[in-house]
Amino acid sequence: MARELKCPICGRPTFWKGNPYRPFCSERCKLVDLDRWFSEEYRLSVPRDLWEDKEKEGEDGKV
């Protein structure tokens, strides 16, 4: 029995097994997701203290 999932872009039902576009339902939804990454609609959060450490390293001339 194949497990039915929802496409994260359009919400239509899709299957994991035998689907070359998984977890998406189609190539179109896969490309829509890729475009959202390229246009920076998605972001990964980074703790503020990590950014501050990187800025301090840059000020000291360290890389």
What is the domain range of residue 56? 4-60
Please give the single-letter amino acid code of residue 5. Answer: L
Cα atoms in the 13 Å half-sphere on the side-chain side of 35 = 7
* Number of Cβ atoms within 10 Å of the Cβ of 17: 8
Mean of the per-residue pLDDT values of the chain? 84
Q: What is the DSSP string of 9-52?
A: TT--EEESTT-TTTTSSSHHHHHHHHHHHHTT-S-----HHHHH
CATH of the domain at 27: 3.30.50.10
Domain count for the chain: 1
Tens of pLDDT, residues 39-57: 999 888 878 777 776 666 6
Residues 32, 37, 16, 4, CA torsion sign: negative
Q: The pTM is what?
A: 0.64
